Amino acid sequence: MWRQLKKVDEWKGYDTYLLITFIITFVLGLVAASSIGSEIMGLTERLVVCSIGQYFFVIALKTYRTSE
């Protein structure tokens, strides 16, 4: 999706946002996987969910504004 958004003028800047969000979510996912069974397991899982949730919110907001 990151490479495809580069080609759409309406979505300029969101390609970089998507790539950065993917990298952050991937790293947080690795941290969450390595913390299984530890005291911070719940916190790391919530951080992963928050990064995905904010991504969905931003993309949904952009889609809504584009469709007006």
Residues 2-36: tens digit of each pLDDT: 777 778 888 888 888 999 999 999 999 999 999 99
Q: Which residues, other chains included, contact 50 with Cβ-Cβ below 8 Å and sequence gap of 6+? A: none
pTM value > 0.95:
no
Domain coordinates of the chain in residue numbers?
A: 2-67
- Tell me how far CA of residue 40 lies from CA of 7, 19, 43, 45, 54, in angstroms: 40, 26, 5, 9, 21
